[in-house]
Structure 1
Amino acid sequence: MTRHSHIDDDLLRRALEAGDPLRGKELLPFTLTPAEMRSEVDRKAAVAPRMNRRRVIVGAAATMGAAAAAYVVWPSAAIAAPGRLDIDFTKPGKPAADWLTSLADALKSEPSIANLGNTTTYAHLQRWVMDTIDPASQLIAQDIQIWWHPDRSGRELLTTLPAQPSGQRIAQYLEPSPPGKQMDPIRYGPGQYSSLIDVPSTNPDRLKSQLDTHEPPANGPKATLRAIADVAAIHDLNMAQRRAFLIVLAGIPSLLWRGITKDRAGRTCNVLSIDSGDTSQGLRRDLLLVSIAGEIYGHEAIALTPPPRSPISNDTVIEYTLHLETRQPA
């Protein structure tokens, strides 16, 4: 499942543990809201043992009524982990709040076109995800294009990307329609595509409440950062909305500014980071890449300490989402 769609990856893994269609268990419909799915996952988890093997669902298309058909990506050739971005983590990060509020203030003078959520939105992104327990067979490497409309209908086009060189920082295939295996389009009828939240508010307090409906604070210190990455991937944000996102980010106490680097599309960006987990269950570092214009360029995660039974090394990139374009076609 792509990070920008209606269910996040952590929840997907839990959902697949609660239901496995290959073993005769009912798969939760992906037309559920995140809150509804969390409730159902928790209910099933209370009476069902955990699966021995995790699977990752990468897309879902709603059919007639409430039924849904899921697309599963099986083993890909692109199993080599990408290289870490050029960031010096040996130096301590600085609290990000001052940088974020200064950038938000600097952008006040920039014009902001109203975004009323009343037109079609196009989003193009790329997603790379490696399962930390079974990296050889559970991997996603995809190019994703989405067209969604105000009535929440839309179309999603997924292309499984060819293998890229191990350790490479810059993504190899950046243009729309890259080489690779293209899946049948996922089509959403009216009301079936989830834009995660309604039109993102320009009021930071209201925006934080919107983001909390997608990633509740109970999900840990990375929840707000991941929610912002998810929403920014599929919404064409105007300047006022970007400023609100920056102010919300400034309110995350443990968020650090790590300096400036190039993202996987070669664009200059600032790096924000937050750590979560522990050494017994795995320590993770989430990164958010932000341009000087307040655009969210993407999200990455590094396994500082992999979870038990994981074959991967410390400090391995385990996922990234690269936001290549969001716009409202004429």
Structure 2
Amino acid sequence: MRASQRVQELLGPADPIQGTSFPSPREAAHEIIERTDHSSVQLGLTAGGDVRPSLVRRPRLAVVVAVAIVVAAAAVTVPAWMLGDRTTGPAPNDSLGAAAGAELEVLTPVAYQQPDSPPAAGPMLMDLADRISDAPYDNAGGTYSYHRRKSWGARQALGPGGHVMSIAEEVETWSDSSGNGMTRTQQLMPEFPTEESRQYWEGVLEPGSRTPGAPVTSTGLVGPDQPITEDPSELARKLKAGAGAGAGAGATVKAVNDIYSLYLVPRSVRSQILRILADTPGLHWRGEVVDRAGRTGVAVTADDTEHNVQHLLIFDPVNGELLAHELVKLTEPRQVQVYNLILSYGRTAEAG
């Protein structure tokens, strides 16, 4: 059996869940199956080797898949607040897909130009808002809005000792003005937050292929059915920002990631988003950084002490597009929890 197939059996399908509460990190496997939880995607790994996924925001479903792995009883809990948009459908065939024979990757946090005592981000974000230029899609024609994203952290398996495994996924989306179109999704190989986790799961998974899974294509409603608002007050509301919002900088940062994952954001709105962020308390300027696709950008962070994570946004320093959003464990040792790379934006005449 291919390694990618075994990984898919272990992790099961993802579910696009958002805006729910942060659950207890561990439960017995039978408790996960016996209840309907509306806060996370969970996967129970039992001492007998059963994998029991419980999918949320759908009718209760228990699926038992037998595998020849013996691990201590544990449950995988993926908090919904960590997730950006998870539109399903497969991805492209290029160098970002894992090549045959590739090593399983350990993720390291993005290095900040200003790691210590960073200044408030407001003045630098205002300056960026004043000087951004057109993006390639700003003056382009085409029926479909196109996004290509790579993400990690939406589905996690937790082994004994807290050893985390999650697979990366690439998604291409073509969406017309009514939100209809096509997605193409490809599951890539697992990535790990620590070397210890990588070593544990490498010993558990069958050796062999390092190739990604086969792309899967689906059609239907894949995007928003309304254009993005250009009204400043309505945009601030969507970003959970401004007086009386009370959601905190972390919620605003996540909302920015969600908007860029769904829309081709025009230049005027990109500038407004930067201004809204500039007025949001709790954002810190991290200077020039390099994202996971090797692109140079400028970064801001927001600390969420309640969930012990730090949100990171990376922007293109020329046109203000969002390049990446990440969550990193706030306390030492710092570990990547979730990442979302927006690799391409554009317009096309046809889907696919």
Q: Give TM class, smaller chain.
A: 0.5 to 0.7
Aligned to 2:301, which of 263, 273, 281? 273
Aligned to 2:330, which of 304, 315, 328? 304
Provide the rounded CA distance (Å) in 2 between the counterparts of 1:131 and 1:164.
10
Q: Contact conserved, 2:16 with 2:86, CA < 8 A, in 1?
A: no
* SS in structure 2 of the partner of residue 328 of structure 1: strand
- 1:166 Cα deviation from its structure 2 partner: 7.9
CA RMSD of aligned residues (A): 4.4
- 1:15 Cα deviation from its structure 2 partner: 2.6
1:103 pairs with 2:122: no
Structure-to-structure mapping, 1:285-304, within 5 angstroms: 285-292=310-317, 293-304=319-330
| Structure-1 residue corresponding to 2:292 | 264
Change (3 A) 1:12 1:91: closer
Specify every segment of 5 or more residues in structure 1 that has no aligned partner in the other structure, as ranges. 31-50, 63-76, 169-177, 306-312
Aligned to 2:214, which of 157, 179, 182? 182
| Structure-2 residue corresponding to 1:233 | 261
* SS in structure 1 of the partner of residue 239 of structure 2: helix
Read off the aligned partner of 2:38 and give its amino acid letter.
A
- 1:60 Cα deviation from its structure 2 partner: 6.9
* SS in structure 1 of the partner of residue 340 of structure 2: strand
- 1:181 Cα deviation from its structure 2 partner: 0.2
Tell me which structure has the larger Cα radius of gyration: 2
Q: Contact conserved, 1:61 with 1:187, CA < 8 A, in 2?
A: no
Q: Contact conserved, 2:157 with 2:164, CA < 8 A, in 1?
A: no
Read off the aligned partner of 2:258 and give its amino acid letter.
D
| Structure-2 residue corresponding to 1:15 | 38
- 1:221 Cα deviation from its structure 2 partner: 2.8
Matched pairs, number: 267
Provide the rounded CA distance (Å) in 2 between the counterparts of 1:145 and 1:24.
26
Specify every segment of 5 or more residues in structure 2 that has no aligned partner in the other structure, as ranges. 1-10, 24-36, 44-50, 60-73, 90-101, 196-209
Q: Contact conserved, 1:264 with 1:322, CA < 8 A, in 2?
A: yes
- 1:183 Cα deviation from its structure 2 partner: 4.5
| Structure-2 residue corresponding to 1:122 | 146
Give the structure-1-normalised TM-score.
Answer: 0.65
| Structure-1 residue corresponding to 2:170 | 143
Q: Contact conserved, 1:79 with 1:139, CA < 8 A, in 2?
A: no
- 1:96 Cα deviation from its structure 2 partner: 0.9
1:317 pairs with 2:317: no
Provide the rounded CA distance (Å) in 2 between the counterparts of 1:182 and 1:154.
20
| Structure-1 residue corresponding to 2:77 | 54
Q: Contact conserved, 2:137 with 2:346, CA < 8 A, in 1?
A: no
Q: Contact conserved, 1:157 with 1:186, CA < 8 A, in 2?
A: yes
Give the structure-2-normalised TM-score.
Answer: 0.62
1:207 pairs with 2:231: no
Provide the rounded CA distance (Å) in 1 between the counterparts of 2:301 and 2:262.
21
Structure-to-structure mapping, 1:36-55, within 5 angstroms: 52-54=75-77
Read off the aligned partner of 1:186 and give its amino acid letter.
S
Percentage identity across paired residues of the two chains: 20
Provide the rounded CA distance (Å) in 2 between the counterparts of 1:167 and 1:229.
25
Aligned to 2:279, which of 251, 254, 262? 251
Q: Contact conserved, 2:125 with 2:274, CA < 8 A, in 1?
A: yes
Most deviating of 129-138 and 80-89: 129-138
**Residue-by-residue CA offset, 1:170-196 (whole Å, 9 max, x unaligned):** xxxxxxxx95102432332xxx4343x
Change (3 A) 1:128 1:122: same
Read off the aligned partner of 2:216 and give its amino acid letter.
D
Change (3 A) 1:27 1:303: closer
* SS in structure 1 of the partner of residue 344 of structure 2: strand
Provide the rounded CA distance (Å) in 2 between the counterparts of 1:11 and 1:187.
30
1:91 pairs with 2:101: no
